Amino acid sequence: MSDPEVIPVVPNVYVARQLLVNIMGKSKQVGNHNNGRKKNINKTWKTKRRTKDLDEIHVDMIPANAVKLLKQDVDFDVTGCGQHYCLHCARYFVDLKTLKEHFKSKPHKKRLKQLREEPYTQAEAERAAGMGSYIPPKKVEVHTQQVEEDMD
């Protein structure tokens, strides 16, 4: 009995590469697929500086809640230490001067006009769905808040 001849096996480079690709299974161009992120960026920017809704501001305009918001304790994390607050726009301002300038601005006047209409309620939604007769929304009297001059 003679020993069978040992035939050296020369690896096929192409087959080895295919096996490696099948094992790894992932493209090398990982950094170029950034289109999926753009959808989330739009939502982030949309919700980043979101202000209060009109019905929330109507709740804040109730006199008991308004006093708490206008006479806040000093808070160093908020603009102007929380001392200069526009109740209707739900914004803090740096000082009294900028708050007064804001009262003359177009966005503030626009917000006052929006707040003149009564907030939307569940009862109104049910009436719109046919569970009652339509009652037009009432007008609410809204004025710019009074500002105390001595804020020292």
CATH number at residue 71: 3.30.160
Q: What is the mean pLDDT of each run of 10 residues along the chain (152 residues)?
A: 64 63 58 66 79 94 94 93 94 95 96 94 89 86 84 48
Q: How far is CA 17 from CA 11, 20, 23, 25, in A?
A: 11, 5, 10, 12
Domain assignment present for residue 19? The answer is no
Domain assignment present for residue 74? The answer is yes
Number of domains in the chain: 1
Domain assignment present for residue 77? The answer is yes
Please give the pLDDT value at position 61.
94
pTM for this prediction: 0.66
Tell which phi-psi region holds residue 128, choosing left (phi > 0), alpha (psi between -120 and 50) or beta: alpha
User: How many other β-carbons are positioned within 10 Å of the β-carbon of residue 3?
Assistant: 5
Domain assignment present for residue 24? The answer is no
Please give the pLDDT value at position 67.
94
Q: What is d(CA 79, CA 91) in angstroms, rounded to the nearest whole number?
A: 9
Q: What is d(CA 126, CA 116) in angstroms, rounded to the nearest whole number?
A: 22
